[in-house]
Amino acid sequence: AVRAALDAARPATVLIEGPPEADALIPLAADPELRPPVALLAHAVDEPGRSAFWPFAAFSPEWVAVRWALEHGVPARFIDLPAAHTLAWDPELPSVEGEESGEGEEEQARVDPLAALAEAAGYDDPERWWEDVVEHRGPGERDPFAPFEALAEAMGALRERYGVGGRPRDLVREAQMRLQLRAAQKEFGDAVAVVCGAWHVPALREKATVTADRALLKGLPKVKADLTWVPWTHRRLARSSGYGAGIDSPGWYGHLFHAPDRPVERWLTKVAGLLREEDRIVSSAHVIEAVRLAGTLAAMRGRPLPGLGETTDAVRAVMCDGSDVPLALVHDRLVVGDVLGEVPESAPAVPLQRDLARRQRSLRLKPEALERELELDLRGDTDAGRSRLLHRLRLLGIGWGEPGPSRGSTGTFRETWRLRWEPELSVRVAEAGVWGTTVAAAARARAEADAARAGTLADVTALAERCLLAGLPDALPA
């Protein structure tokens, strides 16, 4: 929908919700080695643990807008509040001066605008409502701007009802967006496209004065911030994760984005392949019957096309013999998904991150979003190097791998690890950068500092064992 609207509008510039310090990183989105899902990571230079993420999936409107601008040679800019202010904000303090504390619970609660619209339309699932009114629009509805105008009108009604919807800081962010929009209009005229959350549209159309907007931004706290692209995962896009993007089914929407033709058939073929990997008997006939059943269910429910609900019901009935147990696997591996994005070497990174990436490549130890078990034979150079790397990262507090009990051997030359790369580990790497520019040097410095603080013999003994496993026997004082 976003690409179609941009193709029709042909704007002279595209403004996107996001931190403006990341404007210099936009050209990297054209690099074929930058593969979403990815996220913009901002962290305070003097306190790397103070960080924030802006996730992008291949189907995210913001990512589509960035790619469209790069493909058409159109300037793209981020217009949200600078990360320097976002990171400096104390999360425990009110974000707007004069903020009242006597509002009722209804006004204080954070409002999910799509959930409110879905409920008004009689849906209990906002994503299902979105599928019906946007993703599965009928063939006669060809106006690319129609869904956006309808959403803007609906958001206007919600803002009148709920005000800031429990998001008082949005007033400051929207003041910044309006200032950036005015600056772009002064430079490019009215040929300006803004890609942002629908919740902000009424505020961007509001006739606020420049003086009032600048007053909201005056005196905001500020820190020095660094930004870069980091890999993200579909799992982290889900609502239930810490830095979600408000999407319950990112794997499903990624599939719809990449397979616009025959999406149901292709999806059920994926499901069949996954179930076969788990030794379930699923034939082509099962797939054909599931496609028919999904279409029938959509027709019975008055839906324009089969959605995730219909395909799930069809899989349960046809491929899973009515059981929900295999569906849990389908939900985890496909509906949510375990895709991990990739970032090119040219992306900005702290020296420690670059050294870690070199070690991962040389040891053929690729980060993956799906948890996997790694058996190491320490008699081999490669496996011994992998073991040392994982133990050194644990010394630095970077929990990429967790050691487990070895299987099939009672000797000391085997190790078993459970590996899973989480996007937040990028922050841990940035934090650990204060200890050194390489994994070995940083782990040694961290171990020496921990040894100096050790209060008991047991602490020193445990640390000594970890240093020996990490191949750092000289990290402890004699």
pLDDT at 138: 53
Residues 299 and 371 in one domain: no
Residues 80 and 136 in one domain: yes
Domain containing residue 13: 2-245
Residues 400 and 439 in one domain: yes
**Model confidence at 243: pLDDT above 50:** no
Any domain includes 154: yes
The Cα–Cα gap between 471 and 449 comes to 17
Residues 291 and 330 in one domain: yes
Angle between helices 113-120 and 146-162 (to 10 degrees): 100
Residues 206 and 330 in one domain: no
Residues 331 and 224 in one domain: no
Residues 281 and 206 in one domain: no
| End position of a domain, from candidates 245, 264, 293 | 245
The residue among 80, 60, 79, 66 whose CA lies nearest residue 27 is 66
Model pLDDT for residues 193-204, shown as the tens digit of each residue: 999 988 999 999
Any domain includes 68: yes
Contact 59, 341 (CB under 8 A): no
| Alpha-carbon dihedral angle through residues 6, 9, 11, 16, given to the nearest 10 degrees | -40
**Model confidence at 141: pLDDT above 70:** no
The Cα–Cα gap between 64 and 85 comes to 26
The residues, ordered by sequence, that sit 6+ positions from 292 with a Cβ below 8 Å of its Cβ are none
Give percent of the chain above pLDDT 70. 91
Tell me what the mean pLDDT of segment 112-130 comes to. Answer: 83
The Cα–Cα gap between 17 and 422 comes to 24
Any domain includes 346: no
Tell me what the mean pLDDT of segment 27-32 comes to. Answer: 96
The residue among 130, 144, 114 whose CA lies nearest residue 304 is 130
Average the pLDDT over each of 100-109, 264-273, 407-416 and give the range with the smallest value.
100-109
The Cα–Cα gap between 308 and 306 comes to 7
Any domain includes 342: no
Residues 269 and 183 in one domain: no
Residues 93 and 198 in one domain: yes
Q: What is the pTM (predicted TM-score) of this model?
A: 0.83
**Model confidence at 456: pLDDT above 60:** yes
The residue among 242, 435, 229 whose CA lies nearest residue 349 is 229
Residues 291 and 239 in one domain: no
Tell me what the mean pLDDT of segment 88-115 comes to. Answer: 54
Any domain includes 343: no
Residues 259 and 240 in one domain: no
Any domain includes 345: no
**Model confidence at 387: pLDDT above 50:** yes
Structural domains in the chain (count): 3
| End position of a domain, from candidates 337, 366, 389 | 337
Residues 74 and 189 in one domain: yes
Any domain includes 198: yes
pLDDT at 103: 41
pLDDT at 447: 92
The residue among 110, 130, 89, 135 whose CA lies nearest residue 247 is 130
| End position of a domain, from candidates 245, 268, 293 | 245
